[in-house]
Amino acid sequence: MSIYDFKVKAMDGSEVSLGEYKGKVLLIVNTATGCGFTPQYEDLQELYDEHQKDGLEILDFPCNQFANQAPGTDEEIHTFCTGRFGMTFPQFSKIDVNGENADPLYKWIVENTVFEGFDKNPMGLMLSAVLKKFNKNYKEGNDIKWNFTKILIDREGNITARFEPTTNMKKVKAKIEELL
């Protein structure tokens, strides 16, 4: 199974084959509009503006599974993102990333990545404390732990990195630039 075998749902309900992105470097992100990490949309848009011409595509998958931080319809979420952050990269229909209703793409991502923990910065420590309240064993398993987890795919369709939401965006950018 390759990333290019998956089809995802566009905001209008149509299916989009990820095969359309063959040969591109992909950054796949599960997002939310009411999250402490929502300002990362600004960093993502800057990356896209700088590197789309080099073959970068950012694929945005809104997700409401973490503290209901992505309420609203696909259209409302898209309007918020384009209006507030000037977002121009592809945004897809809202999905689940964990559990029995997880999108098949994310089931594949979870099966093929490893959760290595959060960075030891203030946001990482805060997120660890929040998750520990809900599940003292949250560090176990490779499921997606929170919104703005980023998955980096090389031009051949291989997963090359998983960045947790607490990872400094400079580190994400550096890894993307290596692949470009």
Residue 10: predicted pLDDT: 95
Residue 135: predicted pLDDT: 86
Tokens of 123: 């946001």
Residue 146: predicted pLDDT: 96
Q: Residue 135 maps to which CATH number?
A: 3.40.30.10
3-class state of residue 148 by DSSP: coil
Residue 81: predicted pLDDT: 95
Residue 99: predicted pLDDT: 95
Active site residues: 35
Residues contacting residue 168 through CB under 8 Å, at least 6 positions apart: 119, 121
Q: How many structural domains does the chain have?
A: 1
Residue 82: predicted pLDDT: 95
Number of Cβ within 10 Å of residue 73's Cβ equals 11
Tokens of 169: 């965006």
Nearest-5° Cα angle at 150, 49 to 137: 160
Structural domain span for residue 9: 3-179
Over the chain (180 residues), the average pLDDT of each successive run of 10 is: 95 95 98 94 98 98 94 94 96 97 97 94 92 90 96 97 96 98
Residue 134: predicted pLDDT: 85
Alpha carbons 135 and 81: distance in angstroms, whole number:
31
Phi-psi region of 68 (alpha: psi -120 to 50; beta: other; left: phi over 0): left
* The amino acid at 71: P
Residue 97: predicted pLDDT: 98
pTM score, two decimals? Answer: 0.96
